[in-house]
């Protein structure tokens, strides 16, 4: 069980669930009692289905990255070492299927969002992550979608949620560029075309500074729009 939890990045999944809960409680239903926010079956299904898609994404990523991870982070390799590759693929397909089915059960838009996310995660792991900036942008977009899907669930067009979606997109871009810089050796060995390989470490740092600046601006915008809704009392 411990190995499986490592494979699906259980701690990361908890953060995704907490993020969706806070988006709903603080941005979309800021003045509703927490009992309504927490004790809601359909919303629980939304969170569960999102976690299934995310967990499946982590599994398929490790499935395709066995050789690269053996160089970049050998102590963290799970697939092929502790979990059979065939079982890993089966778990990926099962979790993706559960997530997509629940998504369509909730609504057509959510179903298509989950289906698109599952397909993009497969494409990212198989090919896109090895390409210049496209992989970074893809995973950042998918991360932002985990925030925006809550607004789709509530059928609300909320500017604060869009701001936080942009916030998540940019912080993920920053994180992914840093990871690419750390994984330069293994990625170069297998002819990946990531940002640090194409532009060099110095060039990658300039991209990093740009996105950090954009992230800081978006964070300030979010603090002055959405975050206030969590702390201000309802107005009559």
0.75 cut: is pTM over it?
yes
Both tokens of 100, joined, read 């997509």
Average pLDDT score over residue span 37-66: 92
- Residue 161: its pLDDT value, please? 87
String of b and e for 129-165 (b: at least 16 CB within 10 Å)? bbbebbbbbbbbbbbbbbbbbbbbbbeeebebbbbbb
Average pLDDT score over residue span 161-165: 86
- Residue 169: its pLDDT value, please? 93
pLDDT score of 122 more than 70:
yes
**Which of 52-56, 80-84, 205-209, 211-215 shows the lowest per-residue confidence on average (mean pLDDT)?**
80-84
Give 116's pLDDT tier (boundaries 50, 70, 90). very high
Report the share of the chain in percent with pLDDT over 70. Answer: 93
Mean pLDDT of the chain: 87
Q: Domains along the chain?
A: 2-231 (1.10.600)
pLDDT score of 55 more than 80:
yes
pLDDT score of 230 more than 80:
no
């Amino acid at each position: 069980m411990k190995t499986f939890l490592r494979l699906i990045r259980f701690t990361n999944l908890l953060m995704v669930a907490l993020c969706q809960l806070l988006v709903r409680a603080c941005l979309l239903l800021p003045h509703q009692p927490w009992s309504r926010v927490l004790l809601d079956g359909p919303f629980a299904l939304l969170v569960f289905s999102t976690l299934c898609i995310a967990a499946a994404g982590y599994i398929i990523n490790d499935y395709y990255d066995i050789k690269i991870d053996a160089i970049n982070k050998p102590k963290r390799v799970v697939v092929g070492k502790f979990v059979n590759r065939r079982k890993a693929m089966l778990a990926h397909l099962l979790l993706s299927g559960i997530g997509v089915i629940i998504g369509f059960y909730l609504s057509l838009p959510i179903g298509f969002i989950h289906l698109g996310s599952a397909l993009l995660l497969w494409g990212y792991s198989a090919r896109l992550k090895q390409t210049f900036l496209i992989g970074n942008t893809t995973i950042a977009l998918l991360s932002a979608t985990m925030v925006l899907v809550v607004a789709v669930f509530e059928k609300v067009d909320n500017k604060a949620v869009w701001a936080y979606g942009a916030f998540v997109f940019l912080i993920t871009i920053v994180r992914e560029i840093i990871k690419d810089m750390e994984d330069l050796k293994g990625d170069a060995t297998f002819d990946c075309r990531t940002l640090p390989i194409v532009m060099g470490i110095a060039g990658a740092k300039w991209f990093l500074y740009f996105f950090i600046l954009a992230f800081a601006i978006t964070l300030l915008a979010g603090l002055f729009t959405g975050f206030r809704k969590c702390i201000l009392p309802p107005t009559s």
